[in-house]
Amino acid sequence: MSMAQDQTPGQTIETDVVIIGAGPVGLFAVFELGLLDIKVHLVDILDKIGGQCAELYPEKPIYDIPGLPVVTGQELTDRLMEQIKPFDPTFHLNERVDEISKQDDGRFLLKTDVGTCFLTKVVVIGAGGGSFTPKRPPIEGIEAYEGTSVHYSVRRMEFFRDKDILIVGGGDSALDWTLSLQPLAKTLTLLHRRDDFRAAPHTVEKMRELVANGQMRLLIGQMRGLHGSDSQLEAVTVKTKEGEERFPVNTVLPFFGLTMKLGPISDWGLNLHENLIPVDTEKFETSEPRIFAIGDINAYPGKLKLILSGFHEAALMAQKAHSYIFPDKKLLFQYTTSSSSLQKKLGVR
């Protein structure tokens, strides 16, 4: 595997497939394509591999991956990276595909926002819900603290050890991280605008037990101001029904949800339905031949937005992609458990 870092501006990269999105489904697509001798480049707008799993919940447990009773978002990403290592894909991070145009020979020319160009036989859109950004609280000057004292996700729990933490929100993310970070924090306060939560009932119950035992604090109100200097937060002002209160805090985690946008995908000439891309369920191809959509970005009757569903979609997509990339080569279906040629590709024979 390699990272494209020293690329010549204006250079056009020729490849079999470009996958847009390096989340779990995009990574597994590399595996399925690799078994068929198909070379892949991946482009992702994030600065890391793993998509939402790595960006939003790298240490949050996932319980519905087959064969893995529990795995964190980062662990799943790491395991998928290990699985695709024999196929040596190239990653282009911090890039967004802005343009797609079909060429006379049937291939597609892709251009990114930093000038990278790809000439590819097949495009696979695995961009989740599109580009996603956390919703920023409407607090004046909050930008100055982002990345140092204000964080919209938890990438490494140990970073928050011995911090005075304020978590803002009332959904699953806010309550889950309240329970996870409370044992590490020096102090922890949960703030929500009302004493009614949208999280799982047992999570809310555990939070209230911590409050009753004096292990954390619950405030009903709204954050009004941040105070500090040199990007380091020192205190927050909160308005409750009793009035305004200012108390020491050096870390704020606002969980106000995400803003999901298709971004440039909406301008690529594909048929769209409610900001999703309709596909067939035989090969997960879009309205444009040779362009596929897998994972949360696609739509079809009975669709379940689960990682395991995306894995299934990636496998069927790869079978059809093979016919475009090797039109004169008959595809022989093989099992990794019994095929010596597949085992040789994987380096286990």
Per-residue pLDDT of the chain (349 residues; tens, 9 = 90+): 666 654 555 579 999 999 999 999 999 999 999 999 999 999 998 778 998 787 767 778 899 999 999 999 999 999 999 999 999 999 998 788 888 999 999 999 999 888 899 999 999 999 876 555 678 899 999 999 998 999 988 867 899 999 999 999 999 889 999 999 999 999 999 999 999 998 889 999 999 999 999 999 999 999 999 999 999 999 999 999 999 999 999 999 999 876 655 556 666 666 667 778 899 999 999 999 999 999 999 999 999 999 999 999 999 999 999 999 999 999 989 999 999 999 999 988 7
For residue 218, which of 188, 248, 181 has the smallest C-alpha distance?
188
Of 222, 254, 286, the residue at which a domain comes to its end is 254
The number of domains in the chain is 2
Of 206, 225, 254, the residue at which a domain comes to its end is 254
Q: Domain with 151 in it: what CATH number?
A: 3.50.50.60
- pLDDT, residue 125, reads 93
Rounded distance between C-alpha atoms, residue 187 and residue 165, angstroms: 6
- Write the DSSP symbol of residue 195: S
**% of the chain at pLDDT higher than 90:** 72
Q: Are residues 28 and 146 in the same domain?
A: no
Of 185, 219, 254, the residue at which a domain comes to its end is 254
The DSSP-derived string for 290-347 is TEEE-GGGEE-TT----HHHHHHHHHHHHHHHHHHHSTTS------TTT-HHHHHHHT
- pLDDT, residue 124, reads 96
- pLDDT, residue 123, reads 96
- pLDDT, residue 113, reads 82
Q: Are residues 127 and 140 in the same domain?
A: no
Taking phi first (over 0 means left), then psi (-120 to 50 degrees means alpha), and beta for anything else, what does residue 258 get?
beta
Q: In which domain, by residue range, is 288 found?
A: 2-132+259-346
- pLDDT, residue 192, reads 97
Q: Are residues 120 and 268 in the same domain?
A: yes
Supply the mean pLDDT for the chain: 90
Give residues with Cβ within 8 angstroms of 227, minimum separation 6.
Answer: 233, 234, 235, 236, 237, 246
Q: Are residues 140 and 244 in the same domain?
A: yes
Give residues with Cβ within 8 angstroms of 313, minimum separation 6.
Answer: 25, 284, 294, 295, 298
Rounded distance between C-alpha atoms, residue 279 and residue 309, angstroms: 14
Q: Are residues 103 and 187 in the same domain?
A: no
For residue 154, which of 185, 191, 181 has the smallest C-alpha distance?
181
Q: Are residues 58 and 193 in the same domain?
A: no
Q: Are residues 107 and 141 in the same domain?
A: no
Q: Are residues 122 and 168 in the same domain?
A: no
Q: Are residues 249 and 263 in the same domain?
A: no
Q: Are residues 165 and 228 in the same domain?
A: yes
Q: Measured in Å, how far apart are the chain's first and last C-alpha atoms?
A: 20
Q: Are residues 266 and 124 in the same domain?
A: yes
Q: Are strands 243-248 and 232-240 parallel, antiparallel or unpaired?
A: antiparallel
Q: Are residues 96 and 7 in the same domain?
A: yes
Q: Are strands 71-72 and 61-62 parallel, antiparallel or unpaired?
A: antiparallel
